[in-house]
Structures are given as structure tokens and as C-alpha cells.
Amino acid sequence: MRIIFLQSYPIYHDLLSTSRWLALENRDKWMPGILSNEGFETELWATADQSLETNYHHNQLGSYTIRLFEVTGRHRNTKFDYSKHLIDYALNHRPDLIFIKGVDGGSGIQLLNKVILPKYIPFIFIIGGKFYNKYVPQADAIGFETSYQKNQLKKPSPWSIHKKIPSDKLFHIPKSVDTHHFCPNSEIVKDFDVISTGRLVSGYKNYDELGKLSSVLKIVLIGDGPEKDKLQRQFPHLIMPGYISHEDLPNYLNRARLFFHTGLRDFYPRALSEAMACGLPCVAFEEIITRDVLPPSCGLRVSTHNYVNPIKYLLRSPKKLKEYSRNARQHAEENLGIFSSRKAMLAMLELLHSKNVIDLPRAINIT
């Protein structure tokens, strides 16, 4: 059985070069490896600046092929970019099942319209920030990240045009993190008060909260993008080291006393998982980050109108910081490890098999 994992957004949408993207270790890379471990033939496909075929290897996971396809259709918003080469390859090498990461990226939408739906190929959505479009009800299964997403899919608001998604099609996919790489390091001196990470792109996140805090606290903002120089001019006390490699990021996180996610669009940013795995107490806005994403035992969910005093108070509370730190690390180890998506993926395959959507070559052990 041949299973494809498709990145709906092009890899450069996150301002990463191909080499940086290939060096990343995250859930998108691990999910094909987990199923490869289970004996399935898997591949990871994505749109990129140039075509490339390479193999992925991990000492805990099965190997598989990564195929990058050169972009042919570009848009002002890069998330809508796609590759005709990818479409042609899919038509000539029909897979048995496709996992699509992201519901609104150009590669996913083009593949749905040109290949998946016309050829009746089963597909599964792994949703991230945006959780609904007209294709979602047609998916054979859906992997969600947060309770908010699940509730909105199961019981749309009365004024919503969303169709209700049956509960048996919904599976929780945690935001996996390598808890061996991202881990506490007591030998590193904590010389930052607050740290945050993100793409420095206009309209994507609001970093004003960090900038305001930087006049009274030692704040570090990791990341790169076209807004970097503007933010540095606007907030001269904000420490902005730019892009930090995946390999070095845990060392930076361990230098901080807490992590502050200021985004108002991401339901579950990977940065929160990485910070918790490093044992950092986390702070995020309650308007967007739910309790299941940031448990009360691991940090604070604050209001966008009242965050300065709670952060200052927490930083003056060593006992509470230590408690949050211990709980955050424990939460990451118990719920967010490399294999945290395995059970849900196998359960999805079992569901599709039970409905005669796919044929499994052998019985699989979900436990």
C-alpha cells in the first residue's frame, strides 16, 4: 500500500531555504516515517523552488522518499503556489491514500481538483490553523490539533455555513516534538526573562506585546523575515538574533525563564511544544490558545488586554516558575513525543479499512 503525505503549502512559505527545510525535524517528517516503520510504503511530497528527490533517515523511524516539485504557479500569497509537475507525477504514479497537511494550500487544492477527486483517491486532512473549506466534508478522515477545532467541526455555529463532520471521522493529532533534542539543560544560564519565536511577516503575528515588554524586561525574539528591521527600529531594546537553526534552538530556549507566544492566529504553534519540552513555563493569549494546548499546570493563558502584570508577577515567583517548568516538561514527555501521532494514524487506517475505502495488506496493532 502506497501512502503519500503532501505538504499543502510550498516549503518556502515559512521563509525557509530548501536546505533548511530538509534539515528540519518535525511531525511532518515523522508521520511518514512512523507508517514506514509499520511496513507501509510512504513518501513526502511538497512544492519547492527546484525539484529534488532524496531519502529521509531517522534512527527511530522507517526511511522513505522525499519528492520536491518545482513550482509552476506562483501567487502573491505564496501559500497558494503549486506545481504542475507534482500533479503530473501523481497522475502517473497513483497512490492508494493521501494525507494532506493543511486545508487551504495551493498544492493541496490543485491535487484535489486535478487528481484526488476525479480519480476517487482516498484522502485525509491534517489540519493546522485554518480548519475548514469546501473539501473538508469530503475527506475520509480528519486529524485535528485542538479541542476548539474539533468542536467547530462537530457542531458548527448556527450562523456558520460549515457542514457538520461526523465524530467518527475526527482524530486528535498532537503537535509532536523531539523531547530528546528539546529538553531542559540546567548547565545553561538563564540570562533572558522572556523568549519568543516566529516568522517576522506583516499581518501574520503581532509582536507589539514583546516590544512593549522589552523596555522593562530582557526579551528575545527569534526569527527572520521582512519585518525584522522595522521591528528592531520600533523596539530598540528587543533582542533579535535572527534565524536560529533547529539544532541550536534548544540552547536559546533554555536561556529564558519563560516563553511568550503572542500570536492571534495559530491554534497550536509548534513553538509551544518545543518550549514546553525544554521545561519553559509558557504564556499565551486565552482568546486563541485553548486549555488543552496550554494546560493550566504548564503556564498562563492571559487576556490581550491584561498580560503585562501577570508576566511580571510570574517572573517574580521562583516557586511557581519551577512548578510550571516541571509540569511543562512532563506534559511534553507524556503527550508530545515523536510517536504521539502513531495511534491516531493507525486508527484512521483502520476506519478506512472498515468502510472498504482502502485495503490493508495486514492487520495493524494500534496499541
Q: Are residues 156 and 24 in the same domain?
A: yes
Q: Are residues 107 and 215 in the same domain?
A: no
Q: Is residue 221 part of a domain?
A: yes
Task: Give tens-digit pLDDT for 156-170.
Answer: 877 778 899 999 999
Q: Are residues 348 and 231 in the same domain?
A: no
163 three-state secondary structure: coil
Q: Are residues 72 and 213 in the same domain?
A: no
The grid coordinates listed for 332 are: 511534553
Number of neighbouring beta carbons within 10 Å of residue 166: 10
Q: Are residues 108 and 167 in the same domain?
A: yes
Q: Are residues 158 and 18 in the same domain?
A: yes
Residue 124 backbone phi and psi in degrees, to 5:
-130, 135
Q: Are residues 200 and 153 in the same domain?
A: no
Query: So what's the pLDDT on residue 204?
Result: 62
Task: Give tens-digit pLDDT for 280-315.
Answer: 999 999 988 999 999 999 999 999 888 999 999 999
d(CA 228, CA 222): 10
Q: Is residue 185 part of a domain?
A: no
Q: Are residues 47 and 120 in the same domain?
A: yes
Q: How much is the CA Rg of the chain, to the nearest whole Å?
A: 21
Pairing of strands 97-101, 123-126: parallel
Query: So what's the pLDDT on residue 225?
Result: 87
pLDDT band at 4 (very low <50, low <70, confident <90, very high): very high
Q: Are residues 118 and 61 in the same domain?
A: yes
Lowest mean pLDDT among 227-231, 249-253, 289-293, 296-300: 227-231
Q: Is residue 248 part of a domain?
A: yes
Mean pLDDT on 55-83: 96
Q: Which domain holds residue 316?
A: 192-335
Q: Is residue 149 part of a domain?
A: yes
Q: Is residue 366 part of a domain?
A: no
Whether the Cβ atoms of residue 213 and residue 308 lie closer than 8 Å to each other: yes
**The CATH number of the domain where 292 resides is what?**
3.40.50.2000
Q: Are residues 149 and 240 in the same domain?
A: no
Q: Is residue 18 part of a domain?
A: yes
Q: Is residue 184 part of a domain?
A: no
Q: Are residues 217 and 78 in the same domain?
A: no
pTM over the 0.85 mark? yes
Query: So what's the pLDDT on residue 203?
Result: 66
d(CA 284, CA 319): 20
Q: Is residue 133 part of a domain?
A: yes
Q: Are residues 255 and 347 in the same domain?
A: no
The total of structural domains in the chain comes to 2
192 three-state secondary structure: strand
